[in-house]
Structure 1
Amino acid sequence: MVDAGRDENGKRIQLTITRDTKKECLAERARIQTERKAGTFITPNKITLGEWLDEWLEFKRRDVEETTIRSYRLSLVHVYDKLGHIRLQELTEDHVRDFVDELVASGRRAGGERGSRLMISTVEGILTRLRSALRRAVVRKLVSVNVAAEVRPSLADKKTDKRERSRPKPWTVAEVQTFIRGIEEDRLFAPLLLSLMGLRPAEVCGQRWQDLDLENGLLSITITRTMIGNVRVLEKDTKTASGERSLPLPRGPWEALLAFRQLQAAERAAAGEAYTFTGFVVVDEIGRPLNTRQLREYAYRLMRRLGLRQVRLYDARHAVLKALALSGVPDVILAAWAGHTNAAFTKRKYVQIEAEDMRGAAAALDAFHGVDQKALT
């Protein structure tokens, strides 16, 4: 029997060691005592990975919002299913690597059709959550190493995914302009323009008239109206401190909001007591706020009517931030406009350069080569 310290409640921990010989018992006791002095000793326990993930999710509630916890739990569904029964201290890198390989080969999206394999980016997201949970387990001295730290989907799987996966592209500048021209007379022209200046859908739906300074052309983002499970609306502050920001209104959205405010005043007068005033900008004809799902479906109907590719409103954010980056807006301004703290993340996530974006470089090479552009045309 050897003293192994105290648990988190201060209770003394004693371990009973059984070996074939006295010499082996003494060696094991010496090892435990040495590791205790060095602060590296891990007390044996029987907690499973699934049980630890439950504890980790509860711990994360201190730092992240309810919607984020829900997304974490959903991303860990496969981990619970395939690895959750394994004791945390018995989990190995091979377990995690085999899990990832199986997930890439046969994992399915929830509700997906037969053959709808998980994207590599989805698998990497699952690994990110698992690594974070195991990193916390190392801090709590439940395990000595993070066995998922070096596990990645194979390069061959990444190449296959990139080759076979069709990813919808954000709108081009021409498509954005076609959409704007086509909805100029639409009742929700102003809110849709907010999506086309880089706001997240939850930020658009969370806009209140009190957050708009239409005298000076300023928009403040202080709260959002997001959805949990595409069913329940959650009104909350911005996801991060950098998400709470003020933006100057471009002339188009500014004028559209002024007109929309007048329209809502007329609708309120016409509806009388039937009108519900909530202070939100994105409301129907009798004042009821629209949620992100309703706004998205409304936009899809307009896209179909105009014969445009159907893209998510969130993807319009990609097109906006890419346009700002290509127009020479400094990185620090780009990140602040997007509501990010890290400019490198903004450019990596939202600014994907296509061949057409590099026409200017091709023209510069023509000048370098002495090619007459007029002769080519």
Structure 2
Amino acid sequence: MADDTIKTVVLKNGKKRYRFVIDIGPDPKTGRRRQKTYTFDKRTEAKNERDRIRNQRAQGTFVAPSKVTVNEIIDSYLAVATLEARRNTKTNYQHSFRCVRERLGDMPAQGVTVAHIVALVKYMQSSGRKRGGKPGTGLSGRSVNLTLGRLRAAFELGVQEGRLARNVAALVKNVSYQQPERKTWTKGEVHTFLKAIDKTRLEVAWRLSLYGLRRGEVLGLRREDVRLKARKLKVVQTRVMCDSEVIIEPPKSRNGERELPIDDELAAALERLYKLQSAEAEKAGAAYQDGLAELEWYEGGQYLVTDELGIPVHPEWYSDEFGRVLKRAGLRRITLHDSRHTTLSLMEKAGVPISVISKWAGHFDSAFTQNTYVHANPEDLAAGGEALAMLHKIS
């Protein structure tokens, strides 16, 4: 057999080379037999390499030399990892590999070293955030680690498929960073906000955000999702941003589709909203909701959060308007998503079991709710100090 013989090759200058030809397994695309020629300066080097390949083939660990690129490894991983994912999730996965594709995408994946990945990390930390198509500021530690985690997963799949000999990405550790502390309101600040938005046009929207609903869940609610007489609302869809486009998607997790009770204040606000929208529709006539026909995602139904012509508001405008409302009310600045953290934290402090809070939030795991969404602010620490003082007090 050809792979049993190491041949001596004499070059024109008289120097000797030692060569062998060996089977490297079938082509993964065609299934045809493949052979590769190896040439070395020394016979012992040729023999050692031949024996190494034989041993790895016998153990099923041999990886044939390949020019498959990092981009191809990523594409294979994304096809598996996002097989049943929502469109927005698929887009997020794609975005997480942006810097990898830019810096390493065209390289043969088998040629990527730890040094390449370390250089990639440094680039992401310094210039990874694009500004008008040009390198900008560094990405956050969380974003860098997210990219590293998915690159490890992509390379690991390459190993399992026999396209890579080892996962060099697994040798690079996550960067250290401090998670920014969430800002949440006290009960008093929530009351100030509710007074500021009382009987305003978007009162229902702001109350729903302080119900603990995600932005996309608030903006995805329609009249048909609300049973006012039964005092119930059901979260069945979300309106979210995806590549600068507004789309409709199912709730974020399997527990995201849920039914929540409507309290008296929210019920009264909904009744006022229905009357207002009816008056606006009558005043606008044929112009009311005309713009909906141009929206690819629209499938009918009256949305709760709309402008005066019945057109659902843009998600980014909604977040920006939240900030403007806070400024007018003189309230401490928090993000719209922080209002969700505020709600779940206040529910926990009110004695609501964490299992109930998790279900209310649409989470799949109570521990995740507790660790991610329940926070203590200075007011809570002061209350804890008072309780401790009572325990230490000697009568």
Same fold (TM over 0.5): yes
**By how many angstroms is 1:125 displaced?**
2.0
* Structure 1 unaligned blocks of 5 or more: 373-377
CA–CA distance in structure 2, aligned partners of residues 185 and 361 of structure 1: 36
Offset of 1:200 from its aligned partner? 0.8
- Runs of 4+ residues over 6 Å off in structure 1: 112-115
Tell me which residue corresponds to 2:65: 44
Distance apart, 1:37 and its partner CA:
3.6
2:266 aligns with: 253
Q: Which residue matches 1:200?
A: 214
The answer to whether the 8 A contact 2:127-2:136 is kept is: no
Residues 1:313 and 2:336 are matched in the alignment:
yes
- 1:181 has 2:195 as partner: yes
**In structure 1, what residue type is equivalent to 2:303?**
F
Deviation sequence 1:117-165 (CA, Å, 0-9, x none): 432222222222222222322232222333223533455xx3xx57xxx
Deviation at 1:58, TM superposition (A): 4.0
TM-score normalised by structure 1 residue count: 0.85
| Counterpart among 283, 294, 304 of residue 270 in structure 1 | 283
CA-CA distance at 1:198 after TM superposition: 0.9
**2:98 pairs with 1:84:** no
Alpha-carbon contact 1:284-1:290 (below 8 Å) kept: yes
Q: Which one of the candidate residues 136, 140, 154 is aligned to 1:133?
A: 154
Identity of aligned residues (%): 33
* Structure 2 residue 42 is matched with structure 1 residue 28: no
Query: Residue 149 of structure 1 aligns to a residue in which SS?
Result: helix
Distance in 2 between residues matched to 1:37 and 1:331, nearest whole Å: 54
AA at the equivalent of 2:367: A
Unmatched segments (≥5 aa) in structure 2:
1-20, 290-299
The 1:335–1:371 alpha-carbon spacing in structure 2 relative to 1, beyond 3 Å, is same
Please tell me the root mean square deviation across aligned C-alpha atoms, in Å. Answer: 2.8
What count of residue pairs does the alignment treat as equivalent?
363
Structure 1 residue 188 displacement after superposition: 1.1
Matched, 1:56 2:77: yes
**TM superposition shift of 1:243:** 1.5
Give 1:225's aligned residue. 239
Matches within 5 A, 1:281-292: 281-292=304-315
Q: 2:322 aligns with which of 294, 299, 322?
A: 299
Counterpart-to-counterpart distance in 1, 2:123 and 2:280 = 57
**Is residue 111 of structure 1 aligned with residue 124 of structure 2?**
no
Question: What residue in structure 2 maps to residue 149 of structure 1?
Answer: 170
Q: Higher mean Cα deviation, 356-365 or 333-342?
A: 356-365
Separation in structure 1 between the aligned mates of residue 129 and residue 379 of structure 2, nearest angstrom: 33
In structure 2, relative to structure 1, the CA distance for the partners of 1:26 and 1:173 (3 Å cut) is same
Distance 2:135 2:64 in 1: 45
2: CA distance, partners of 1:129 / 1:47: 18
1:171 aligned onto 2:191: no
Per-residue Cα deviation, 1:257-305 (whole angstroms, up to 9, x for no partner): 2321232223223333222274211112221111212222332222221
CA displacement at 1:227 relative to structure 2: 1.5
CA 1:172–1:152: 2 relative to 1, 3 Å: farther
Alignment partners' CA distance in 1, 2:122 and 2:341: 31
**Deviation string, structure 1 residues 231-279 (Cα, Å, up to 9, x no partner):** 3211122233221121222332233223212322232233332222742
